[in-house]
Amino acid sequence: MHIEQLQLKNYRNYDQLDISFDDKINVIIGENAQGKTNLMEAIYVLAFTKSHRTPREKELIQWEQEYARIEGRVTKRKQSFPLEIILSTKGKKAKLNRIEQKKLSDYIGALNVVMFAPEDLTLVKGPPQIRRRFIDMELGQIQPRYIYHLGQYQKILKQRNHLLKQMQRREKQDRTMLHVLTEQLIEHAATLLERRFVFLELLRKWATPIHYGISRELEKLEIKYASTIEVSEAANKEKIDSIYTNKFHEIQEKEIERGTTLIGPHRDDLVFHVNNKDVQTFGSQGQQRTTALSVKLAEIELIYNEVGEYPILLLDDVLSELDDHRQSHLLNTIQGKVQTFVSTTSVDGINHETLREAELFHVNNGTVDT
């Protein structure tokens, strides 16, 4: 899988761009604030229809312009096809093979991307929402239907929280509606949780041996799922549904008192242990970075095994954050098999044959020269 060509119009600081890429390694070089990360972000948006940097899509549209467009030509399973994202004040359009897709779940997964940026180093030590977003984005790539259930869950959760807030303030006491919303929420919550458990088992399969190798066979990584309900990861959807039903019944008065939904996938978390110690709390910075790198490399192998092709890898200004040992492990892993985009202010100090074979692009104030 690789991107052959990328075209941008009115995107961030790019008036217009038409660029072709090498199917192996592409290095984007430039000073800060020139457009390196914007270029990487555009590829990410082409895959996911949303930015990894901001939830406000109007920020992606160039100042005083009405729309932004990202077009890409992708080769996957020996087929070449166009993808297009149009962002405007009226909303967003996603086109696959020039046909607009009404559901994002019909679009996401056409282009598989793994992003590794400096903020991903907070995957381990950052707040739970970072880890939940990681699960949701990666799982959505290999199971687009997951995106549908997540969207429905978030919509119902918002309605339920609004009703609970009204009941807390005694503005409304509609327990029948609360029961209906709870049943609807559980339906999607159970599906999300079941699929997260399956995904986590796959992630462990790859991350544990990768971490063992990076740590020079000194550390064993364990990844655990911290749920708001007591449930076995082996439980099926029906069992999860039953546990949620009983728990929601048990805490109903407490939820009304607090005016919010207290359990569910939106409050769950991942916990990383190295040699039986919580890395977030007790791990060194080196252990936290090794854990984050192991998880990202595991994503690549996981997607390959689920989809049949390697995803595109975006390394956004991250090599300078890794020491020589971790740099080498990362570059050795991807060498010759993953189309990779590396953004950096300089290739000096990165002595690896992978980058010596790369195609170089120089970015300066929204223009790109080879």
Please give the annotated binding residues for ATP, written as ranges. Answer: 30-37
Give a three-class secondary structure readout of 231-243.
Answer: CCCCCCHHHHHHH
* In contact, 219 and 275? CB cutoff 8 Å: yes
* In contact, 312 and 341? CB cutoff 8 Å: yes
Alpha carbons 6 and 18: distance in angstroms, whole number: 6
Alpha carbons 247 and 186: distance in angstroms, whole number: 11
Burial of 316 by CB count in 10 Å (0-12 exposed, 13-18 middle, 19+ buried)? buried
β-pairing, 340-344 with 25-29? parallel
Alpha carbons 161 and 154: distance in angstroms, whole number: 10
User: Per DSSP, which regions of the chain are E strands?
Assistant: 2-11, 14-20, 25-29, 67-76, 79-88, 91-96, 99-100, 113-116, 221-226, 269-274, 277-278, 312-316, 340-344, 359-364, 367-369
Looking only at Cα atoms, what is the longest distance across the chain?
A: 68
* In contact, 369 and 362? CB cutoff 8 Å: yes
Question: Residues comprising the binding site?
Answer: 30-37
Alpha carbons 153 and 185: distance in angstroms, whole number: 6
- List CB contacts of 317: < 8 A, sequence separation 6 or more: 36, 37, 117, 118, 343, 344, 345
- List CB contacts of 198: < 8 A, sequence separation 6 or more: none
Alpha carbons 285 and 125: distance in angstroms, whole number: 9
